[in-house]
Structure 1
Amino acid sequence: MKYNMKCTPWRLVATLFMTLLCLTSTTAYAADDVTVSGQVLDSRNEPLIGVSVFVDGTSQGTATNLDGRFDIRVKASSTITFKYIGFRPLSIKASELTANAKVQMTEDATKLDDVVVVGYSTRKKETLTGAVTNINNKEILTTTHSSLAQSIEGKMPGLQIRQNSGEPGDFNTMINIRGFGTPLYVIDGIPQDLGGDDFQRLNPQDIESISIIKDASAAVYGLKAANGVVIVTTKKGSQGRAKFNYNMTFGWQKPTDMPRMANRSEYAQMRNEANLNAGNAPYYTREELDREMAGETTDWYGLTMRNYSTQQQHNLSASGGTDKYTYFLSLGYVNDNGLLKSGDLNYDKYTFRTNLSAQLTKNFSTEVKISGRYDTKNSPSSGFHNIFYGTRTALPNAEAYANGNPDYLGYQRFLNPLALADADISGYTQIKNQKLNSSYNRPR
């Protein structure tokens, strides 16, 4: 069998063109993507296992194996970053890495020299083997809140915090370590008997660091530490001239979303439909329905609640000292207002702290620490829950005020939120706390 193939000039040119195009595309692809491989070493030329190797600006990455080797295909123009705990991050252009490149990382001494409070002593991170997490003052103050627990939420691995209420002066936040029960709180070496209450009321500006112990390292505190330990270390003075610091924070907060309640017209129509669906006569006659649909709606939530609440914090501190003594002094004030338009839901807190250290002789030193807190929570006696519940259940066709006169409340079949929110009508609850702590370390 014979095949007769004719090759015309234009077909030959087209074939050559397509072949050249394919070769060009293959060459371009090969020039754009490169395979980078090598070994990551420390300053002693020992391989580093598990180093994160990733391409900047992408989710592409890998990790070094048991021999410290890596292999990754990247764009020739990309930048590769190497990260490893205790070492400084290193970024290198892919074009600068040859085949089987040697990448040497340097230790980050500042990370390894960080001091962590463990039990009744301190240790450096480089010698730490227990499950301990630490956070310093700078990281705590990235967020502000009247409760310290809310300021550290989501910042410490293993520490679970759930806010049960956003009511001003309500410190019943649930705190646990790794899902266990209430941990033991130790503030400046003194175990606290009131659980997380004192911890949550601390002034964040006074705190130097917070450590949480999550394993058997907490055994030094005995049976109470079975659920872990939260250790708080407050600030101390340092040698040098007196330093004064003033911080002021003002903010506002509002509900993220609030369901819209039915207006007067919608309520009347749905009330009739409910009766009809139950096989009964309409609740409203035609004339009454027309009147309800044309009537004015009473917005119980809008009359009772503000759109947002305000919060302010003030803190003044002084620190300094000489080679013989050091001091740290602090005064703080917090004001947290609620959402009630009556202004009867609020919280005020005053704090002070004095930390003094003295070098009595060459071989003896002592410390004196005094701190105090005075706070007040005011609220209507009915409680915020009942007030809010009243804004959900009060009928939209009921008058808020008798004959439109704000001096007299209108009749309401269910809970009247305006009456409940006014402490002069429903009564009030006032909770005051006064606490003074002092500690003295004998010369040592």
Structure 2
Amino acid sequence: MKKIYIILVALCLSINLLAQNTVNVVGTVIDETGIELIGVSIVIKGNEKVGTVSDFDGKFRLTAIPVNSTLVFTYIGYKKQEIRYTSTREREKIVLKQDVNEFDEVIVTGRGTQRKISVVGAITNIEPKELQVPSVSVSNMLGGRVPGIISVTRSGEPGNNFSEFWIRGISTFGASQSALVLVDGVEGNINDLDPADIESFTVLKDASATAVYGVRGSNGVVVVTTKRGKAGKLKINFKTNATYSYSPRMPEYADAYTYASLANEAQMVRGNSAIYSNAELELFKTNLDPDLYPNVSWRDVILKDHVWNTQHHLSVSGGGQNARYYLSLGILNNEAIFKQDHAETKNNTNVNYHKYNFRANIDANLTRTTELSLNLETVFVAQNAPGDGSNNTA
């Protein structure tokens, strides 16, 4: 009889211990006005496989979940809420607050600005911070960041290492096959932009989004707006970065002696006489006559092991209620890997590309209903390129 009592007591203790390790949560999810929310996702933080959704009355039930579990409530258009439960709750009321930013986010379209939630065309908006990476041009950053864009870089030469890109392929033949690029509403060159000056970057891809541009927008449209001054204290921003480029793997070439020996061997196995005599092989090996029998690694003579490229940007912005300004200066230095012998010539014989950007965006309120905006952009380019060997400045 005592054994039976002991077993019953042990079972009761086990059941009580199990009950203390789990909790039940039953409740209703509503918004700030008291309306029940249908389809709210409710999962355990760290274990998303365990969860449920609210029903047509906003009610939900989770039973036997681990004590101290944190439930995550998520719903489109509302802020995520996390609640930790240490005990059972049978009449829980969860109030979700609306996420105003999610619905008020606007993007630039062909017709001006539009709330993101109301956009029906194929439009992709790129966050400006995604473009703040070391690169020669903005066009080189589009590949892989925007669905539907194909980009190709055909050269690595400084000044010609820009990417061609197409939005959903080529839609015209015999005419311009490139996308239309608008900078602050004016057609421009995307490679002249300094990424640090970009405020918003939007790609219009389908016919409904580009209809306002007619046939000129048949290959897609890129709409860029640049930064402008805001009322407030003077703000000075300076940013600089340096890129270290090198070749991690280079082919190994034979020296003159090895090449001459292999050339002799290749001829002799075919029954021909050797090209180089033993005396000539010895001259290659000892380098006693470097003029007639040189042993030179032209790759090491012409090319450097690495190269540094730099990019600098300085901006000044501010203003008051009646006038605002944004001024910026950008400098880009892009060098090739060719060596330069300063003992032979003082001219810079290396292939290089230097770009200087200056931008001034000024806004002034003439009256309560009239605003005057002035956008100035100047780009100076100095490039050393193969050919005539002269400096071409554009």
- The normalised TM-score by structure 2 is 0.72
Q: Partner residue of 1:431?
A: 392
2: CA distance, partners of 1:97 / 1:175: 58
AA aligned opposite 1:361 = T
Q: Is the 8 A contact 2:139 2:164 kept in 1?
A: no
Deviates more, 1:181-190 or 1:247-256: 247-256
Q: 1:224 aligns with which of 216, 228, 240?
A: 216
Q: Deviations over 1:20-63 (max 9, x none)?
A: xxxxxxxxxxxxxx9x9x999884544459x798985x9x9799
1:373 aligns with 2:379: yes
Q: Is the 8 A contact 1:163 1:172 kept in 2?
A: yes
Q: Deviations over 1:291-337 (max 9, x none)?
A: 54555842211111111112222222111122212111112222222
Q: Partner residue of 1:211?
A: 202
Q: Is the 8 A contact 1:131 1:214 kept in 2?
A: yes
Residue aligned with 1:166, SS: coil
Could you say if the C-alpha distance between residues 272 and 113 of structure 1 is closer, same or farther in structure 2, counting changes exceeding 3 Å?
Answer: farther
Q: Partner residue of 2:353?
A: 347
1:173 aligns with 2:163: yes
Superposed counterparts of 1:190-339, under 5 Å: 190-192=186-188, 198-215=189-206, 216-276=208-268, 278-289=270-281, 292-293=284-285, 297-339=295-337
Q: Deviations over 1:362-398 (max 9, x none)?
A: 22222111111111101342xxxxxxxxxxxxxxxxx
TM-superposed deviation, 1:217: 0.8
AA aligned opposite 1:111 = E
Q: Partner residue of 1:129?
A: 120
2: CA distance, partners of 1:45 / 1:190: 49
Q: Deviations over 1:129-155 (max 9, x none)?
A: 2211112332321x1122122345433
Q: 1:164 aligns with which of 154, 157, 162?
A: 154
Could you say if the C-alpha distance between residues 431 and 92 of structure 1 is closer, same or farther in structure 2, counting changes exceeding 3 Å?
Answer: farther
1: CA distance, partners of 2:88 / 2:179: 50
Q: Is the 8 A contact 2:231 2:320 kept in 1?
A: yes
Deviates more, 1:242-251 or 1:215-224: 242-251
Deviates more, 1:152-161 or 1:252-261: 152-161
Structure with bigger helix share is 1
AA aligned opposite 1:431 = N
Q: 1:182 aligns with which of 141, 165, 178?
A: 178
Residue aligned with 1:222, SS: helix
2: CA distance, partners of 1:52 / 1:285: 86
AA aligned opposite 2:196 = Q
TM-superposed deviation, 1:257: 2.8
1: CA distance, partners of 2:44 / 2:303: 51
Q: Partner residue of 2:109?
A: 118
TM-superposed deviation, 1:179: 3.6
2: CA distance, partners of 1:153 / 1:123: 26
Report % sequence identity.
31
2: CA distance, partners of 1:304 / 1:82: 63
Could you say if the C-alpha distance between residues 326 and 263 of structure 1 is closer, same or farther in structure 2, counting changes exceeding 3 Å?
Answer: same
AA aligned opposite 2:338 = L
Could you say if the C-alpha distance between residues 52 and 256 of structure 1 is closer, same or farther in structure 2, counting changes exceeding 3 Å?
Answer: farther
Q: Is the 8 A contact 2:67 2:87 kept in 1?
A: no
2: CA distance, partners of 1:327 / 1:315: 17
Residue aligned with 2:385, SS: strand
Q: Deviations over 1:247-289 (max 9, x none)?
A: 2223322234322222334323432343245553333345544
2: CA distance, partners of 1:253 / 1:61: 46
Q: Is the 8 A contact 1:248 1:314 kept in 2?
A: yes
2: CA distance, partners of 1:280 / 1:54: 82
Q: 1:362 aligns with which of 347, 363, 368?
A: 368
Structure with bigger strand share is 2
CA RMSD of aligned residues (A): 4.2
2: CA distance, partners of 1:284 / 1:40: 94
AA aligned opposite 1:246 = F
Q: Is the 8 A contact 1:315 1:331 kept in 2?
A: yes
Residue aligned with 1:134, SS: strand
Superposed counterparts of 1:412-423, under 5 Å: none
TM-superposed deviation, 1:91: 6.5
Q: Is the 8 A contact 1:311 1:337 kept in 2?
A: yes
1: CA distance, partners of 2:86 / 2:263: 74
